Amino acid sequence: EPEVTQTPSHQVTQMGQEVILRCVPISNHLYFYWYRQILGQKVEFLVSFYNNEISEKSEIFDDQFSVERPDGSNFTLKIRSTKLEDSAMYFCATGGLRGSPLHFGNGTRLTVT
């Protein structure tokens, strides 16, 4: 079964540094999402991406965050200047047609020190 692949699995960075989290979506999926989860708690929506542009973003997704699909396959989340409170598990998810479930990657655990 096709999978969503995320790299790295764990990223440790210092406060103020930039990080890029990468995701390879399922090939025929058109909708891409980033979610984050802090300490196994609520799964928080960050942003959705469709047709090479942001479809929706949450209040969490401020100017420090950006997404892009640089080469038509990878889907990236960039955090420009990380804060301690950005420490979380970040999940990439992709979806096909409306009404289909999201498929999640295994996540990137980001630790900001």
Under rule CB under 8 A, residue 78 binds another protein: no
Q: Which is nearer to another protein, 48 or 82 (CB)?
A: 48
Under rule CB under 8 A, residue 25 binds another protein: no
3-class state of residue 36 by DSSP: strand
Around 13, how many Cα atoms within 13 Å sit in the side-chain half-sphere? 24
- Among 34, 67, 86, 105, contact with another protein (rule: CB under 8 A): 105
Q: Which two tokens stand for residue 3?
A: 């999978």
Q: Which residues contact 35 (CB under 8 A, 6 or more apart)?
A: 43, 44, 45, 46, 90, 91, 93, 104
- Compose the 38-77 pattern: x for residues touching another protein by CB under 8 A, - for all others: --xxxxxx--x-x----xx---------------------
Q: Are 33 and 94 in contact (CB under 8 A)?
A: yes
Under rule CB under 8 A, residue 35 binds another protein: yes
Q: Which is nearer to another protein, 17 or 22 (CB)?
A: 22
Pairing of strands 31-37, 53-57: unpaired
Binding site for another protein (CB under 8 A): 31, 33, 35, 40-45, 48, 50, 55-56, 91, 93, 95, 98-107
